[in-house]
Amino acid sequence: MRWQNRRLSDNVEDRRGGGGGGMKTIGIGGGIGGVIILVLALLFNQDPQQALQSIQQNSGGAQQTEAGTVTDSSDEISRFASTVLADTEDVWEQLFAQMNKKYKDPGMVLYTDYDQSGCGAAQSAMGPFYCPADEKVYLDLTFFNEMEQRFKVAGDFAMAYVIAHEVGHHVQNLLGTSSKVQAMRSRISEKEYNKLSVKLELQADFFAGVWAHHAQKMQNILEPGDIEEALNAASAVGDDALQKAASGHVVPDAFTHGTSAQRMRWFKKGFETGDVKQGDTFSANDL
């Protein structure tokens, strides 16, 4: 991916080296983080909510540290994340203007081990996630090492896909999609809500593809193999692949993010079309 020497986002807080204050109830705003919790729960034969509670209990308190900013002199990985976020800002500002809407940039918090989000605890074991309460993406950059070591997914564009997916959840939040899905939680069964969750996640994958489509047009960011890196990442975090790796069998009713094939399909559709209107996963007859 061509990313060097380009604009850095002004919306990145570098809190690495310290953590946030006391713990609250953990809330994951969708995304890759939910997949990681599922993997951990399956590996230890534990209910996902129990895994969340365990993280909360073991994180403990921490002293609040002052956030820094990512600059041209910062380390390469933080500059990369900041550049990708800046690219998403440019793309979605343009696309929202075409929809006669105003785009509000999300924030991004880089942290180490644990921190505090508007949704509660942020812990590295959760993986990257978006918190709709404070409209920020939370990211422990060591997750990308985990991607390579545990999921055998490498490449800078695979990392860009993860960030773009979480920003996709921010887009859903601005459009009101996330709140509509959340409002259904107490009205339907867990099985039916899981189906809505899958559609929400696949749409975020689609939005990541839309970002890649327009970022290529605007900045010529792609190098040979980049899209394959993103597709490999999407495949690696499919519910079926993760469940099979963790427990040896697949439980479709427990899917919350979509299969590997579905995740690749919707990212690819977003990249090929670049058309936000074609990402209505909720009305699709076949995911």
185 in a structural domain: yes
How many Å apart are CA 152 and CA 149, to the nearest integer? Answer: 6
> Does residue 116 lie within any of the structural domains?
yes
Tell me: pLDDT of 162 over 50.
Answer: yes
In 248-259, which positions are buried (b, 16+ CB within 10 angstroms) versus exposed (e)? eeeeeeebbbbb
Evaluate if residue 61 carries a pLDDT over 50. no
pLDDT tops 90 at residue 165: yes
Q: Look at residue 272 and tell me if it is in a domain.
A: yes
Burial class (CB in 10 A: 0-12, 13-18, 19+), 47: exposed
Q: How far apart are CA 160 and CA 180, in angstroms?
A: 27
pLDDT grade for 33, boundaries at 50, 70 and 90: low
Burial 133-147 (b: 16+ CB within 10 A, else e): eebbbbbbbebbeeb
Q: What proportion of the chain, given as a percentage, has pLDDT over 90? A: 60
Examine residue 283 and state whether it is found in any structural domain, yes or no: no
- pLDDT for position 279: 97
Indicate left, alpha or beta for 100 from its phi (over 0: left) and psi (-120 to 50: alpha).
left
Please give the tally of structural domains in the chain: 1
Domain residues for the domain of 107 are 12-16+73-278
Does position 135 have pLDDT exceeding 90, yes or no?
A: yes
**Position 171 in a domain:** yes
Predicted pLDDT at 32: 57
Any domain includes 80: yes
Share of the chain above pLDDT 70, in %: 79
Q: Is 263 among the domain residues?
A: yes
The C-alpha atoms of residue 161 and residue 167 are separated, in whole angstroms, by 10
Within a domain: 181: yes
Residue of higher predicted confidence among 283 and 242: 283
Asked if pLDDT for residue 272 goes beyond 90, the answer is: yes
Q: Enter the tokens of residue 204.
A: 């975020």
| Digit-coded pLDDT (tens) for 78-114 | 999 999 999 999 999 999 999 999 999 999 999 999 8
For residue 105, the model assigns a pLDDT of 98
200-256 per-position pLDDT tens digit:
999 999 999 999 999 999 999 999 999 999 998 988 878 767 776 666 767 776 777
Locus of tokens 């061509």 = 2
